[in-house]
């Protein structure tokens, strides 16, 4: 069968003058009506009306593509109609069965497409958001470009090798690294490791100035304990060694050979033993002085003076013990 050309979509007698086109008087009887009314001769007006009706019905089908459902039509199985913009296919012969409510005689020609989810296929909404947590939307090429641009900018500053990750400076001349074996450190522009820590946090390469270590000065100060006033004081080292000093006065009590002396108490008691004491004259007339420990709390001091010297002579001492 030959393929027909596209119709011209013109309607017969569509531009007829007034009175030249009238509705056919009896569609169901057809031309037989002329026997009784026009001596078997159809008038021009009826001919125009008949052909005009045919062309309009054909144009309706051309416009609609699929005919609209009508309660006046009996539909066979597999007939396709349109109702409220939805296509339906007859699954049983029927008449006056509304497609939207009679599911035993009609079915939707194209099944309704559901919204997509992680468990079923369907329609998805496109989105260009980069911070969305939706699982029912699909990304656009714009989002992919933004993500790619971000990854490119990150890859310039960060790089992962087989067992090492690096973070570069802006000019990529130096970087900080961390390795799978726990080492981390800094590599300078000359390619040399300036400092590095092992997996235990110990510095194994390089030096860090003490004034750059936060809290180090306070830590060192707190390692020592001390106390003092205008005449005496002590300093306890981290290893337990104690150094104390003071000024004492002793009376001019000549015992033998112009030697005098008195027992004095240390500024603070030594926990275990006093190892040594050194002394010096305050400058009030003694020409020599001496001290030695008696216990962990006291020591004896003496000085050689001329007869008739001052009644009180001062001595400065430094004692060491632990």
Report if pTM > 0.75.
Answer: no
Contact 54, 14 (CB under 8 A): no
Q: What is the DSSP string of 243-274?
A: EEEEEEEEE----BTTEEEEEEE-SS--SS-E
* Residue boundaries of the structural domains of the chain: 74-108, 113-158, 161-208, 223-321
pLDDT tens, position by position, 239-257:
899 999 999 887 655 544 4
Q: Which residue has the higher pLDDT, 272 or 210?
A: 272
In CATH terms, 223-321 corresponds, of 3.30.1360.170, 1.10.10.10, 3.40.50.2000, 2.60.40.3940, to: 2.60.40.3940
CA–CA distance, 69 with 47 (Å, rounded to integer): 29
Partner residues linked to 160 by β-bridges: 165
CA–CA distance, 64 with 107 (Å, rounded to integer): 20
Give SS3 for 221: helix
pLDDT tens, position by position, 100-147:
999 999 999 987 778 888 888 888 899 999 888 888 899 899 989 988
Dihedral angle of Cα 206, 211, 213, 218, to the nearest 10 degrees:
140
């Amino acid at each position: 069968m030959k393929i027909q050309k596209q119709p011209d979509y013109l309607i017969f007698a569509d531009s007829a003058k007034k009175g030249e086109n009238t509705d056919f008087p009896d569609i169901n009887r057809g031309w037989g009506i002329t026997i009784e009314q026009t001596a078997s001769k159809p008038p021009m007006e009826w001919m125009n009306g008949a052909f005009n009706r045919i062309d309009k019905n054909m144009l309706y089908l051309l416009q609609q593509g699929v005919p609209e459902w009508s309660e006046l039509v009996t539909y066979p199985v597999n007939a396709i109609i349109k109702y409220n913009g939805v296509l339906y296919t007859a699954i049983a012969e029927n008449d006056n069965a509304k497609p939207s409510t009679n599911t035993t005689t009609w079915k939707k020609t194209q099944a309704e497409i559901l919204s997509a989810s992680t468990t079923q296929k369907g329609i998805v909404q496109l989105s260009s958001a980069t911070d969305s947590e939706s699982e029912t939307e699909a990304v656009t090429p714009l989002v992919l470009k933004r993500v790619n641009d971000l990854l490119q900018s990150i890859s310039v500053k960060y790089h992962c090798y087989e067992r090492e990750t690096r973070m570069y400076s802006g000019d990529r001349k130096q970087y900080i690294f961390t390795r799978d074996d726990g080492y981390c450190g800094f590599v300078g522009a000359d390619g040399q490791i300036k400092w590095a820590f092992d997996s235990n946090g110990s510095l194994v390469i390089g030096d860090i100035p003490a004034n750059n270590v936060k809290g180090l000065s306070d830590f060192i100060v707190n390692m020592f304990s001390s106390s003092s006033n205008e005449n005496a004081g002590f300093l306890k080292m981290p290893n337990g060694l104690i150094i104390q000093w003071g000024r004492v006065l002793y009376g001019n009590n000549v015992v033998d050979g112009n030697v005098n002396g008195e027992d004095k108490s240390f500024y603070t008691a030594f926990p275990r033993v006093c190892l040594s004491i050194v002394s010096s004259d305050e400058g009030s007339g003694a020409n020599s002085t001496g001290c030695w420990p008696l216990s962990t709390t006291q020591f004896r001091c003496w000085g050689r003076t001329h007869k008739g010297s001052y009644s009180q002579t001062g001595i400065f001492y430094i004692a060491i013990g632990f």
